[in-house]
Amino acid sequence: MSSYSTKATRALNLITKKGGAVTVARKSKSTKNPVTGRYVPSDTTESTYAVIYDINKTLIDGENVRVGDMTALIPAITMGLQVGDIITSGSVNWRVQNPKPLMPDESTIILYEAQVRK
C-alpha cells in the first residue's frame, strides 16, 4: 500500500512540474438561503495541476470521442473527478466526459486520465 502512496506522490510531482495550474469545479444541488429563502446553486472547487494534451486520434468516432476532445492527466484530488466536472485551465473550460482513475488497489488513486471537451 505504501508503494502506491509513493507513486501517487510521484504522479503529483510530475504533473505539477510538466503541467499547469487548473481548477476543478462541480455543480452541486441548490441549497436554500435561510435569509432570502431563495435556492442558490452550490459549487465545489479544488485547485490542482493537470497535463492536457491531444487525444489519440484513432479513438475519434464522432459520437463518444469528437474532434477537439483532449486528454487530461490530473493527480488524485480530494473531491475526486466525475462526468460533468469543469476543469478550467487559463481561460479555457473543459467538461469532463470520461474520467478513469488509475487505482491499483481499493484505496489509492494515483491519478485520473480523463477525456475532456470544450
pLDDT above 60 (res 110): yes
CA angle 15, 65, 107 (to 5 degrees): 45
- pLDDT by residue (tens digit) across 38-74? 888 888 999 999 999 999 999 999 999 999 999 999 9
pTM: 0.86
Fold of the domain spanning 2-117:
Thrombin, subunit H (2.40.10)
**What's the pLDDT tens digit per position in 65-80?**
999 999 999 999 889 9
Query: What does the alpha-carbon distance between residue 93 and residue 103 come to, in Å, rounded to a whole number?
Result: 26
